[in-house]
Amino acid sequence: MDTSSQNDRAAWLRGRIAKCAHLPGRLARPLRVVLLGAPGVGKGTQAALLSQRYGACHLSTGDLLREAKTQSSREQTLAMSSALNFMRHGALVPDTIVWQLVRERSGCFQCPGGFILDGFPRTLAQAGALQHLMEAEALQLDAVINFELPASEIVARLSGRRTCATCKAVFHITSQPPQFADTCDRCGGLLYQREDDRAQAIVVRLQAYERSTAPLIDFYSAKGLLTSVPAAGEPEQICLHTMAALEERKVNRAAHSGDASPAARGLFVV
């Protein structure tokens, strides 16, 4: 597959010193959304699909922490090595460390194509910090999509998941196998099982979700931003439902605001 025109997310994954190889063109109406949902509901897969459709950058805190893991131990600060230890066991990384990483990348929130936040925020403290950042950057979230899936399916998805070591594309050994064993269809990279997709870590992650992340559903619902989408079925189908939910929100918002201009009523894409 030709990956030459895909955004490599360098500025997000490696921080300010790096520049993205291909910035999307400036859109009249860039999409800015948060994806919520338990680990394993498919946020990463949906973020990648939505990113292809809308041109918005896929901002995953999990991906940037995994990127930090690829640095040699001498390059890693003490705080970062302790953060990676939390991650390895399926626990949440402390808010201060995650927030420092996100704040250093605040330029990505101004991405001309918009953004899709995947895995952030994960606690009420992070959601509050994001809100302040958005206000400071004079930006607004368009929606928060909450992907819903029964717990039994979540465990099956996590334990069969394989991730590309190079481009981070996500596969599943039965429901979305790669064409060639252990090889990424997108870039030819090696597929591996994340440490935190192993059985003991899955239990810890689901507990962390219930305790710290599930309260965000009420937080964003109270702000009128939340839209729930069932996450069972084929990724393409779920993506279509998500796009329909986003477009519906757009039309509803235009109707409530009385703004009937094409920009207000139009799709998120130009």
Active-site positions read 43, 122, 161, 194, 205
Q: Measured from the CB of residue 46, what is the shortest distance to ligand AMP in angstroms?
A: 12
Listed in sequence order, the residues at least 6 apart from 133 whose beta carbon sits closer than 8 Å to its beta carbon are 102, 103, 106, 109
Only segment of 15-23, 45-53, 116-124, 143-151 that touches ligand AMP (CB under 6 A): 116-124
Nearer to ligand AMP, 142 or 196 (CB): 196
Report 84-103 residues binding ligand AMP (CB under 6 A).
86-87, 90-93, 98
Q: Rounded distance, CA 169 to CA 165, Å? A: 8
Q: Residue-wise over 118-147: b if at least 16 C-beta within 10 A, else e? A: bbbbbbeebbebbeeeeeeeeeebbbbbbb
Task: Count Cβ neighbours within 10 Å for each residue of 3-22 and write b for 16 or more, e otherwise.
Answer: eeebbebebbbbbeeeebee
Binding of ligand AMP by 196 (CB under 6 A): yes
Counting contacts by CB under 6 A, is residue 172 touching ligand AMP? Answer: no
User: Which of 120/171 has CB closer to ligand AMP?
Assistant: 120
- Least separation in angstroms between residue 78's CB and ligand AMP is 17
- Give the Cα separation of 152 and 39 in Å (integer): 12
Interaction mask 45-84, ligand AMP, x per CB under 6 A: ----------------xx--x-------------------
